[in-house]
Amino acid sequence: MAGFRRRSALLAFVAVSTLVVAAILLPARAVAGLLIACSGAFAVVMIRAVRTRRAAGPHPRALSLAAGILLTALAGAAAALAVLIAPDVLVAGGVPLPAEIPLVTLFFVAGAYLPATLRPHQRRDLLARLRAALDMLGLTACLIFTPWLVLTHGDEQRGATMTALILGATAAAVVAVSGVHAIRHRAALQWCGPGAALSLVGLTALVIGMDYQGEPNAAIAALAGGLAVNVAAALMWYGSVRIRPDARPIPPAGSEPSAGFPLLALPILGSALATVYHLITGGRLDPVAIILGTVAITAVATREWVSAIVLRRHADHLTDQGNRLRSLVFGSADVAMILDADLAVRWQSPAAARQFGLSDQDVLGRTASALVHPGQADALHAHLTERMVHHDPTPFPVRLRDGFGRWRDTEWTTSGGDPAEPGRTLVVHVRDVSDLRSLEQALRDASHLDQQTGLANREGLRRAGELTPDTGAMIVIELGGLAAIGDVHGPDLAEVVVAEAARRLRTRMAGGDVPARLSETRFAVLTRSGAVRAHLLASQLLTALTTPYSAAGTAAHLSAWAGLADLTAQVDIDEVIRRAGLAMRSVRSGPPGAVEWYDEQMEIKLRRRSTLERDLPGAVQRGALELNFQLVVELPGGRPVGVESLLTWRHPTQGVVSADELLAPAEDLGLLAEIGQWTLHRSCRLLADWRRQHEDLWVAINVRPRELVDPAFQAAMQTALETHQIPPSALVVEVSERDLIDQQPAVEDLAAQLGRLRAQGVRTAVDNFGAGPTSLSRLRILPIDLLKVDRDVFGQPAGTLPQIGAVMDVTVALGRRLGMEVIAHGLQQSEDLEVVQAAGCRLGQGDLLGKPMPAEHLEALLERQPR
């Protein structure tokens, strides 16, 4: 790049030196031609810019203009050479050769300039096109008029001059008006258009100077044309290479800046001066001059008339826009203010009085910071000061005192300066957002509160947890029985009960505790109390929530369970709620009123329970369930009298799952009937085979109380007994003492169902007696045949043999008085066997007498026993 600049500077120096020498040694007309030839340097630079992709404008335009400039330069050089070699040679029509060369070139140059300045197509309305046409006509007439007066003497009219004058003036007028009136590519064409016009005028002047060889002023005209061509080449280079075409925004239709451009002012003034000079020097106006003058004046007058129409329409449009703007300002809910350089209010819109009750006397002349809350005055002043320099439409919240002394929430935005005084003013728009802020607050409250109870919802509890120190506990409470109340008494009573439960929670809260409702039947309490007080609070809440609810003459009862989890800094509030929920779930299947704390082992158990619930459906069809059997024998002989069927599940990842762990999720999933029927049929089928050798052998199966009241179980039992031809007395239905604690179904319903079984000949039993809090009164009303005493009754802690024996004696005696056969269940040591035999127990079961075994092993064992 530096080398190119050095070469360009050297070439420019050589060119200037050559021109100086030529001006001294050569004729003036030859110097004019050489001067025009120097413009070719601009063409070379333009072509180089296009090739290196440095031209800012369209490449076709730059190349077309460069071609015109290069043709003009070649014509100048050829004309100069003709002046030096053959100055007196005439061509066809008597035209001198130095004049004929630029004349012919003029046609090609005009053909190169016109496409470059007429593209792209300018979208104008009819009046705009008419105004441009009148400018072209008037400018053409003026450009021909003055040379006509100067060059025509009598009847002397030279053909080359007239041709060049008409062609050059017309082409120059077209390209000049096209550039001045351009809408698209306006920034570039306002340089290229006048430059092309000046180049055509300079080339026309060269033709005239070469045609009038004997005139003393012809050489001056030729030299002036040479200078004009070089200036024109510079203008076209700048407009096509250096200026981006759309550097300025496109003006809207009807408001082009060129509409009022005095394009014809200088040509008309020049024509007038030439006319006065011509008349003073004794000349006269011939018909052609009069016609040209008339055309120019008519074009100017018509153009002004069209411009007046356009201006009138534009004024009407501005008036209409002003009226619309005025109506918008007066009817706008936003208040507009104009602040001066000191941020004092110079003007405010009429909406200020309507929206805020602020009159002009209250506001004008006061600084904006004096109108707002004192705590925001400095911040607002700094914000507006910065916006005077850097525009930013971001709203700024401000509390504004209205005309009634109330503080209103507002947002202030700026839109730059006042167009009338840019840089020294600032336009501010003030919007009242008080109602919006009130609505947002109401929505925030609604999003944090449960609509039915008024307690916090999960989002509100989460928000409270963020504001609570990392000490305290979360209590999650589950209410049972709400669905039954809704089904029996209707949803209205259920809603009343929920509202009353929420009231009971709220009245028992200490300061800082937050009650919340998480779901339809689940509540939570966020307390800052320690572990002991949180546990006590949970128990008190369960007591309060399970107290009968009286509404509409009806007493409703609820059951409740609670889980607790510690608040820690390591986990968020959602995790604490989840942990408390897991703790509650761990006791949900137990008796009501239970309270449990979360620990990691609990979560492991619940995850195991979740895995079992996921994989249990279809276990029967997949053959994943198994039955093991444990013998019930006579004491002390050891003769087998029965077997207990024990259900197990070999899970692929969780290992062996016992019946106690299996039946709880089966009951929740509604699979209890399917699994129970499978157990019943398989146990009866195996018993039928074993009874061929041991006719008195019976089988005991464990049944949940809810199975007993299911009609499907009754039908399945009858089907199994009939299918496998087993007498009803060979089947023993066992109910665990733990299941008797549950109130579902009621003891009366359970007793009735057990009575039906006994009526059919099926025997009944209570398993694990003594392991739970079963009352003697409940045992008395249940129709039980076998009482299986748990090892907790006869097990022997060190030094307690006399007490254990006495308890076992009472238990055996009680069973016999109630008509029950007592079985010692869970015999593990020889001491256990001594205790139960001493108490008179006739039957026993346990690992000491035989561990649970598969059916194949039991069958082999029975074959070794005598019939």
- Give the tens place of pLDDT for each residue, 545-577: 999 988 777 888 899 999 999 988 888 888 899
Q: Is the pLDDT of residue 844 over 90?
A: yes
What confidence tier does 444 reach under pLDDT thresholds 50, 70, 90?
low
Q: Is the pLDDT of residue 391 over 50?
A: yes
If one compares 251 and 817, the residue with the highest pLDDT of the two is 817
Instruction: Measure the CA–CA gap between 776 and 738, rounded to whole angstroms.
Output: 14
Tokens 């990392």 belong to 470
Q: What percent of the chain has pLDDT over 90?
A: 16
pLDDT of residue 137: 85
Residue 534: exposure state from Cβ atoms within 10 A (0-12, 13-18, ≥19): buried
pLDDT of residue 704: 85
If one compares 325 and 68, the residue with the highest pLDDT of the two is 68
Residues whose CB is less than 8 angstroms from the CB of residue 474 and which lie 6 or more positions away in sequence, other chains included: 524, 525, 526, 527, 564, 565, 566, 567, 573, 576, 577, 579, 580
Identify which of 211-215, 607-611, 634-638, 729-733 has the greatest average pLDDT. 729-733
What is the distance in angstroms between the CA of the first residue and the CA of the last residue of the chain?
120
Q: Is the pLDDT of residue 261 over 60?
A: no
CB atoms inside a 10 Å sphere around CB 548? 9
Instruction: Measure the CA–CA gap between 808 and 790, rounded to whole angstroms.
Output: 10
What confidence tier does 732 reach under pLDDT thresholds 50, 70, 90?
very high
CA nearest 597: which of 609, 608, 582? Answer: 582
The values of phi and psi at residue 558, to 5°, are: -125, 150
For the chain, how big is the Rg over CA atoms in Å?
A: 56
C-alpha to C-alpha distances, 340 to 10, 366, 384, 392, 521, nearest whole angstrom = 57, 11, 11, 18, 63
Average pLDDT on 234-245 reads 87
Q: Is the pLDDT of residue 41 over 60?
A: yes
Q: Is the pLDDT of residue 442 over 70?
A: no
Q: Is the pLDDT of residue 730 over 60?
A: yes
Separation of CA 11 from chain center? 63
The secondary structure of 131-154 as a DSSP string is HHHHHHHHHHHHHHHHHHHHH-BT
- Worst-scoring range by mean pLDDT, 152-166, 693-707, 758-772, 781-795? 152-166
pLDDT of residue 5: 57
Instruction: Measure the CA–CA gap between 91 and 640, rounded to whole angstroms.
Output: 148
pLDDT of residue 25: 59
pLDDT of residue 522: 92
pLDDT digits (tens, 9 = 90+) for 822-832: 999 989 888 88
Whether the CA torsion 322, 326, 328, 329 is positive or negative: it is positive
What confidence tier does 799 reach under pLDDT thresholds 50, 70, 90?
very low
pLDDT digits (tens, 9 = 90+) for 629-688: 999 999 888 889 999 999 998 888 888 888 878 887 888 788 888 888 899 999 999 999
If one compares 147 and 726, the residue with the highest pLDDT of the two is 726
pLDDT of residue 8: 57
Q: What percent of the chain has pLDDT over 70?
A: 88
Average pLDDT on 154-181 reads 80
E strands, 716-864, are 731-736, 763-769, 786-789, 821-825, 843-845, 853-854
Is the separation of the CB atoms in 606 and 580 below 8 Å?
no
Q: Is the pLDDT of residue 17 over 70?
A: no
Q: Is the pLDDT of residue 314 over 50?
A: yes
pLDDT digits (tens, 9 = 90+) for 757-792: 888 999 999 888 876 665 566 677 788 899 998 888
Q: Is the pLDDT of residue 249 over 90?
A: no
The token duo for 679 is 């157990």
pLDDT of residue 128: 77
Instruction: Measure the CA–CA gap between 691 and 729, rounded to whole angstroms.
Output: 13
The chain-wide mean pLDDT, for the chain, equals 83
pLDDT of residue 335: 86
The values of phi and psi at residue 657, to 5°, are: -110, 125
pLDDT of residue 250: 58
pLDDT of residue 771: 66
What confidence tier does 404 reach under pLDDT thresholds 50, 70, 90?
confident
Q: Is the pLDDT of residue 539 over 50?
A: yes
CA nearest 348: which of 338, 334, 358, 333? Answer: 338
Residues whose CB is less than 8 angstroms from the CB of residue 384 and which lie 6 or more positions away in sequence, other chains included: 339, 343, 368, 369, 414, 426, 428
Instruction: Measure the CA–CA gap between 479 and 492, rounded to whole angstroms.
Output: 17
